Chain A
Amino acid sequence: MSTAGVRGVRESGAFGPFGGQFAPETLMPALSELEDAWEAAQTDPVFRAELDALLRDYVGRETPLTLAPRLSERLGGAQIWLKREDLAHTGAHKINNAIGQVLLARRMDKPRIIAETGAGQHGVATATACARFGIECIVYMGAEDVRRQALNVFRMNLLGAEVVPVESGARTLKDAINEAIRDWVTNVRTTHYLIGSAIGPHPYPMIVRELQSCIGREARDQMVEQIGRLPDAAIACVGGGSNAIGLFHPLVDDPVRLIGVEAAGEGLNARHAATLTGGSPGVLHGTRTYVLQNDDGQITEAHSISAGLDYPGVGPEHAWLMQTERAEYVSITDDEALDGLKLLSETEGIIPALETAHAIAYAAKVAPAMSQDQHILIGLSGRGDKDVEIVRDALAQRGG
């Protein structure tokens, strides 16, 4: 095989048989340009210093590590620690990636940024980062999500972004990504596509992982500082999987159980978004990974109460971590996630995002079987303010 010379993809773009660059020809030079810009930025102390300063002074890093004493006591097993990405600016980990990629876009002299968003968290983070630097920002959002998340649309507008409702397909996240890619194919010379998760063609999964790895690096140091060692397990929710890979990556060579929690929606035999636990290998949005698909290879609609997990693909590195059995992937239903959200709210005074509630709910399953001198680290990826209406309606529907 002699194609390694074309782009050097072979060295860095694959996670075993997953990842790669399954993108239309028009985009391939842009992916190369992005890879080059990223590599140059990595070795440029000015870029690193600028990013670190923004993460500290604008995003509010490092984020705290919080012991959850009443939750731990309630579960009666392992001690539970929360890595508080909900306390980052805009209320979720998404801003880490958005700020980093906006800096990258400036290095590439791309005056226009596009993004996709499901619930709106990545859209808000991108609009925020663009506002900070005065860059034009267009956010594609499924029309159905626009309707469900009207407040986040308003937030993005306040931040100066244009939100484009996408009417195709199921009019949710997957369709928003399709539309963002089409925009990029058309305007590739002037535009950077600021993808919001560790998905898409190389180099995106790698870039997003690196920009989110501050989560795991900080948590690692903070755990050692607090208990003198690493946790026994690290748990994070997985949709595309950016907060999970950010937490896992700095721990991947350590003896720490890594557990990714997917959305089982209404159950794995019904509508769900558990791509790794209920899907099969395929190619979607430029990468080879696990996808939800029918026998004809058509991508099927995902479902989760949490819009941020409502995606029929998953980051390719997670597929590799699963195949190599370095990480475990499990799933939690909508109902269990609601219970997880209530549990953390009542015991710790922290309302987590519905996405995060999946990780809480799974921790609640494994912690009781562990001993009190064991420790679980949960990636608390976002705060739940955005979800309270959905939660209220869902709880009313099921009777509390």
Chain B
Amino acid sequence: MTHTGSDRGPNAGATLGARYRQAFAAAESGGDTLVFPFLTAGFPTPEETPELIRAALRGGAAGLEIGVPFSDPIADGPVHQTAYTQALAAGASLDTALDAVRAARESAPDAPLTLMGYLNPFLAAGATDQASDDLPGAAVGEPLAPLARMAADAGVDGMIIVDLPVEESDAAREVLAEHGISLIYLLAPTSTPQRIATVAEKATGFIYLVSLTGVTGAREQVAADFEQFVGRVRALTDTPLAVGFGISRRQHVVEVGKLVPAAIIGSALTNTIASAPADGCVAAVEQYLEVVTGRRSEETSA
């Protein structure tokens, strides 16, 4: 294990995507499928978040996605929306997410850490009230700089901005890259070959494949046309691929692991936290991760 945690600073650009490359390379050369759990910062409370982060890492998480709650999450299903609402009511903010990142970075110096959320709360960390003559995409670049600096300091490797498609992303990607942070793009089964090619050209870190057409949420089965979708993307890029949306069980991880080196698990984990007894969230998260990473069999987890 090489420790890249101290590489940050003025030359952070040189290490853009380094932790992702390292983790994905290990998985692709015969290691286990990477499992990246998604945890909403501040859910169920801001106080519990760092301990849940540590539990996920103990359970076998190869890295983490830390979600910044938003009042109007248009790409999320009811599970995450409820979690965001509860987190915001409990006082969660961007700081809660950055605290969570710091906790994760301390426990896992090499784990790729991704901040995920919607554009508006990310913009709010900067000055958004200045009149601008830029086009919309350019106008959302510079206001992200304060966030990028804070995120880099906390140990963030990449950011997923759900409502920032590639068309509007050039300025944001450049601002993030200046701080050593990869802008992680999403592709969906509806993405055209032209869009896939454009994303492939601009992507660093990894590309997040949305496994199905829909909002976030656990499903019984992984979408049937996923294999074909992976093939269409794979034909155009060598950037590492991860899959998310609808993955909830060990069996799903095994299935998608045959096609891509990493799986992202969101709503199922949020459900696990929501249904755990008040003092049992930490144990529930650790155990759930043990099961989906294959460290513990599903039968013994009941």
A interface residues with partner B (beta carbon < 8 Å): 1-3, 5-7, 9-10, 13-14, 16-26, 28-30, 32, 168-169, 174, 178, 181-182, 185-189, 280-288, 291, 293, 295-300, 316, 323
Are B167 and A189 in contact, with the CB atoms below 8 A? no
Are A178 and B128 in contact, with the CB atoms below 8 A? no
B-side contacts of A5, CB under 8 Å: 198
8 A–B pairs (Cβ distance < 8 Å), ordered by A: A3-B167, A14-B136, A17-B139, A25-B210, A182-B76, A182-B77, A293-B124, A297-B120
* Of listed A9, A13, A25, A28, residue having the most chain B CB within 10 A: A25
Complexed CA–CA distance, A10 and B170 (Å)? 13
B228 at the interface (CB under 8 A from A): no
Per-residue contact bits, chain B 113-133, to A (CB 8 Å; 1 contact, 0 not): 000001111111100110111
Chain B residue at minimum C-beta to C-beta distance from A16: B133
* Closest chain A CB from B51 CB (angstroms): 23
Complexed CA–CA distance, A10 and B171 (Å)? 14
User: Provided the pairs A188-B213, A297-B122 are in contact, do residues A17 and B132 lie with their beta carbons within 8 angstroms?
Assistant: yes
B-side contacts of A22, CB under 8 Å: 119, 136, 140, 163-165, 168
**Assuming A10-B135, A284-B72, what are 19 further A-B pairs, CB within 8 angstroms?**
A1-B137, A17-B133, A20-B137, A22-B168, A23-B163, A28-B195, A32-B192, A169-B85, A178-B73, A185-B215, A189-B213, A281-B128, A281-B129, A282-B120, A288-B140, A296-B93, A298-B71, A299-B72, A300-B71
Complexed CA–CA distance, A265 and B185 (Å)? 40
B-side contacts of A299, CB under 8 Å: 71-72, 120
* Closest chain A CB from B47 CB (angstroms): 18
Chain A residue at minimum C-beta to C-beta distance from B130: A281
Are B170 and A6 in contact, with the CB atoms below 8 A? no
B-side contacts of A6, CB under 8 Å: 166-167, 194-195, 198
Are B74 and A21 in contact, with the CB atoms below 8 A? no
B-side contacts of A178, CB under 8 Å: 72-74
* Closest chain B CB from A325 CB (angstroms): 11
Complexed CA–CA distance, A280 and B143 (Å)? 13
Are B210 and A14 in contact, with the CB atoms below 8 A? no
B-side contacts of A19, CB under 8 Å: 136
User: CB within 8 A of B190: which of A7, A21, A174, A189?
Assistant: A189
User: CB within 8 A of B124: which of A7, A21, A297?
Assistant: A297
B-side contacts of A316, CB under 8 Å: 136
A-side contacts of B138, CB under 8 Å: 1, 17
User: CB within 8 A of A29: which of B76, B135, B191?
Assistant: B191
User: CB within 8 A of A188: which of B81, B123, B132, B190?
Assistant: B190
B259 at the interface (CB under 8 A from A): no
B-side contacts of A187, CB under 8 Å: 213
Chain A residue at minimum C-beta to C-beta distance from B135: A14
* Closest chain B CB from A164 CB (angstroms): 13
Are B124 and A296 in contact, with the CB atoms below 8 A? yes
User: Provided the pairs A17-B139, A21-B165, A24-B75 are in contact, do residues A280 and B128 lie with their beta carbons within 8 angstroms?
Assistant: yes
User: CB within 8 A of A3: which of B78, B139, B166?
Assistant: B166
Complexed CA–CA distance, A281 and B169 (Å)? 18
Name the interface size band of chain B. Answer: 35 or more
A-side contacts of B129, CB under 8 Å: 280-281
B100 at the interface (CB under 8 A from A): no
Complexed CA–CA distance, A186 and B223 (Å)? 13
Complexed CA–CA distance, A92 and B125 (Å)? 40
A-side contacts of B81, CB under 8 Å: 168
User: Provided the pairs A22-B119, A296-B93 are in contact, do residues A29 and B192 lie with their beta carbons within 8 angstroms?
Assistant: yes
Are B74 and A182 in contact, with the CB atoms below 8 A? yes
B-side contacts of A280, CB under 8 Å: 128-129
A-side contacts of B166, CB under 8 Å: 3, 6
User: CB within 8 A of A30: which of B78, B120, B190?
Assistant: B190
* Closest chain B CB from A63 CB (angstroms): 34
B-side contacts of A174, CB under 8 Å: 72
User: Provided the pairs A17-B133, A18-B136, A25-B188 are in contact, do residues A285 and B74 lie with their beta carbons within 8 angstroms?
Assistant: yes
B-side contacts of A297, CB under 8 Å: 70, 120-125
B-side contacts of A169, CB under 8 Å: 71-72, 85
Which residues 153-192 of B sit at the A interface, judged by CB distance below 8 A? Answer: 162-170, 185-192
Complexed CA–CA distance, A303 and B258 (Å)? 52
User: CB within 8 A of A21: which of B93, B168, B194?
Assistant: B168
Complexed CA–CA distance, A17 and B128 (Å)? 12
Which residues 85-130 of B sit at the A interface, judged by CB distance below 8 A? Answer: 85, 88, 93-94, 118-125, 128-129
B238 at the interface (CB under 8 A from A): no
User: CB within 8 A of A26: which of B72, B88, B123, B210?
Assistant: B210
Complexed CA–CA distance, A13 and B168 (Å)? 11
Chain A residue at minimum C-beta to C-beta distance from B143: A281
Are B195 and A29 in contact, with the CB atoms below 8 A? yes
A-side contacts of B131, CB under 8 Å: 323
User: Provided the pairs A18-B136, A182-B215 are in contact, do residues A296 and B194 lie with their beta carbons within 8 angstroms?
Assistant: no
